[in-house]
Amino acid sequence: MNIVSTYTWCQFAPAFALVGLAALLILADALLPKLPKRAFAFIGAMGCFVASYFLYTGSQPNFLGCIAAVATGLSILLAFDYTKICCESIAGGSNEEGTGEFYALPLVACAGILSLTQARDLVMLFVSLEVITLSSYVLAGYFRRNQGSIEAGIKYLVLGAMSTGILVYGTAWYFGMVGTFNLGHEVVFTAIKGGVAASPTLAVGFLVATAMLFAGAFFKIGAAPMHVWIPDVYQGAPTPTTAFLAVASKTAGFIVLCALVLPFAPFCVPGSMIGKLLIWCFALVAGVTLIIGNMGAIRQTNIKRLLGYSSVAQAGFIMVFFLNVNSILVDLVGQYLLAYALATLAAFYAVAMVRTQRGSEEIAAFRGLGKSNPRTAFLITVCFASLAGVPLTMGFMVKMYSFVAAITAMGNWAGICWLLPVMVITAAMGFYYYFKVIRAMYWEKAEPGHKALQVPVCTGIVLTLCALALIYLGTMPLLVSMG
C-alpha cells in the first residue's frame, strides 16, 4: 500500500477549508489595508469554531481535533482584545501595519493539527507536524520590538528544529527497518520479530528508530527531558501565541504520541519484554516530568512562566494514561486535555486582560482583584482551582482518572509502584503554586495606582463559559452516578 491510497481527499476537508480561509485573510491583509485587524481575529476565530462544529458532528467524531480547533479559535479571539499590545510590539505605536498574519497563521497551524489527526503513516505525521511548528516559530517571534519575543522565537526554533532532526532521522531508520512508513499493528509485529529474516539487528534498529520518534513527540508535549524550551518560550512569546502553544500545540503532541503508541498495544501486556521496556520508559518520563514541572513552578513569580511549568506538570499527569495502552486511551487523554484546555485558555485570557490594563505579567499584578473585580476574580479562581484539582471541578475528575490509570497499570507492572507516591506529592505541590494566584487576588492589597479592571466583552464571555463548563463537567458525573 503506498502513501496516496491510504487517504481520501474528504478526510482533509476541514484542513483545506482552514488553509483557504488563512489564504483569504492574508490576501485581504494585502489588498484591503483599511480593514481593521480586529475583523481578521473575529473571522479567523469563527472559521475555527465552524470547523470544530463539523468535526464534532461528522460521521467519525474527531474529539482531539475538535479541542485543537476550539483552542486555536479562542487563542485567535484572545488577540482580539490584545490588538493594542500587538500594534505596539509589531509596528510601534498604534499602527496596525504588518499585524495581519498574526491572525492568519494560527489557522494554518490548526489545519496542520487537523491533518495530523488523520495521519496513518510517518510521512503525513511529519509534514503535518512541521506545518504546525513552522507557523508556531513565526508566531513566537512575531513581536519584533519585544526582546523577549525574539529570544523565545530563536530558542523555540533551535530546539524545535533539533527535535525535528531527531524525529526525521528516526523516520528514516523506521523505513529502513520495515520498508514502509505505515504505522500499523502488523508492521510493528513483524518488525519486533526482526522482519521476515528474524534478524535481531533489525529488531534493535527498529526499537532505536521508535525511540527517536518518541523523542520528537515528547518534545511537543514538553515531557522531561525535552521540556527545556517550555518556560522560556511561554514567557517570551506573545500571550495569544502562548495560549496556542499551551493548548493546541500540546494537543498535537498527544495526537502524535497516541499514533505512535497504539500500534504497540498487543505488546503492552504482562510478560512481554518489549511491553515492559515501553511501560518503564513511560513511567520514568511521567515521573520525571511531574517532579520537574511542579518543582519548577513553585518558585515562579511570572504568571506566564508559571503556566509554562504548569503545562509540563499537567503533561506528566496525561503521560500516566499511556501506561495502559488500550482502546480508551485516546478518550482519557481527550478528557484530560479538555479540562486542561478550558482552564488554561481562561487563565491566558485573564493574563492578557491584566497585561493590557496593568502592564505587567507578574503574579503581583493580580493583587486586589478579589476586592475590585469580585466576579472576575471568582471565575479566575475556578480555573486555577480546576488546574490544581479541587473537588467539584473538572480538573479533579480527570486527575482522579489519572490516578486510577496509575493504579490499574500497577496491577500489571508491580515494578512501577513508586509512581503513585510521586503523583500524590506533586499533586499536592500543585495546590501551593496555583493558589499563589488566588492568594494574590484575595489576601494581598492592590499595588498603588492599580484601579479596578475593565473586563472586555470577549474576555468576560470566555471566562464565564470556561468556568461554567469546568464546574458543570466536574459535578455532572457525580450527580449522574448518585441519582
Q: Which residues bind other proteins (CB under 8 A)?
A: 2-3, 122-123, 126-127, 130, 134, 137-138, 141, 144, 147-148, 150-155, 157-158, 161-162, 164-166, 168-169, 171-173, 175-176, 179-181, 231-232, 235-236, 296, 299-300, 305
State the nearest-atom distance from the C-beta of 4 to other proteins, in Å: 9
Integer CA distances (angstroms), 400 to 264, 335, 410, in order: 25, 12, 15
Contact 331, 63 (CB under 8 A): yes
State the nearest-atom distance from the C-beta of 2 to other proteins, in Å: 6
Distant-in-sequence, close-in-space partners of 207: CB < 8 Å, separation ≥ 6: 192, 274, 277
State the nearest-atom distance from the C-beta of 73 to other proteins, in Å: 24
Percent helix, percent strand, percent coil in the chain, to nearest 5: 80, 0, 20
Q: Which is nearer to other proteins, 152 or 256 (CB)?
A: 152
Q: Cell numbers of 20, please?
A: 483557504
Distant-in-sequence, close-in-space partners of 433: CB < 8 Å, separation ≥ 6: 294, 297, 298, 300, 306, 309, 310
Residue 315 amino acid letter: A
Integer CA distances (angstroms), 88 to 30, 76, 235, in order: 20, 18, 18
State the nearest-atom distance from the C-beta of 90 to other proteins, in Å: 11
State the nearest-atom distance from the C-beta of 419 to other proteins, in Å: 26
Q: Which is nearer to other proteins, 174 or 267 (CB)?
A: 174
Q: Cell numbers of 149, please?
A: 519575543
Q: Which is nearer to other proteins, 182 or 356 (CB)?
A: 182
Q: Which is nearer to other proteins, 123 or 404 (CB)?
A: 123
- Closest by alpha carbon to 244, among 166, 140, 143, 391? 140
Please state whether the peptide bond connecting residue 448 to the residue before it is cis, i.e. omega within 30 degrees of 0: no
Distant-in-sequence, close-in-space partners of 51: CB < 8 Å, separation ≥ 6: 14, 17, 18, 69, 110, 114
State the nearest-atom distance from the C-beta of 331 to other proteins, in Å: 31
* DSSP SS3 for 362: strand
State the nearest-atom distance from the C-beta of 140 to other proteins, in Å: 9
Q: Which is nearer to other proteins, 88 or 456 (CB)?
A: 88
State the nearest-atom distance from the C-beta of 134 to other proteins, in Å: 5
Contact 203, 193 (CB under 8 A): yes
Q: Which is nearer to other proteins, 251 or 300 (CB)?
A: 300
State the nearest-atom distance from the C-beta of 356 to other proteins, in Å: 21
Q: Which is nearer to other proteins, 154 or 284 (CB)?
A: 154
- Closest by alpha carbon to 151, among 235, 249, 87, 92? 235
Contact 463, 379 (CB under 8 A): yes
State the nearest-atom distance from the C-beta of 415 to other proteins, in Å: 32
State the nearest-atom distance from the C-beta of 203 to other proteins, in Å: 17
Does an H or E element contain 65, and which?
helix 63-80
Q: Which is nearer to other proteins, 2 or 57 (CB)?
A: 2
Q: Residues 116, 121, 125, CA angle at the centre, nearest 5°?
A: 35
Q: Which is nearer to other proteins, 13 or 154 (CB)?
A: 154
- Residue 116: count other Cβ atoms within 10 Å of its Cβ: 26
Q: Which is nearer to other proteins, 63 or 169 (CB)?
A: 169
- Closest by alpha carbon to 389, among 381, 401, 397? 397
Q: Which is nearer to other proteins, 154 or 211 (CB)?
A: 154
State the nearest-atom distance from the C-beta of 85 to other proteins, in Å: 18
Q: Which is nearer to other proteins, 172 or 277 (CB)?
A: 172
SS (H, E, C) 296-342: HHHCCCEHHHHHHHHHHHHHHHHHHHCCCCCCCHHHHHHHHHHHHHH
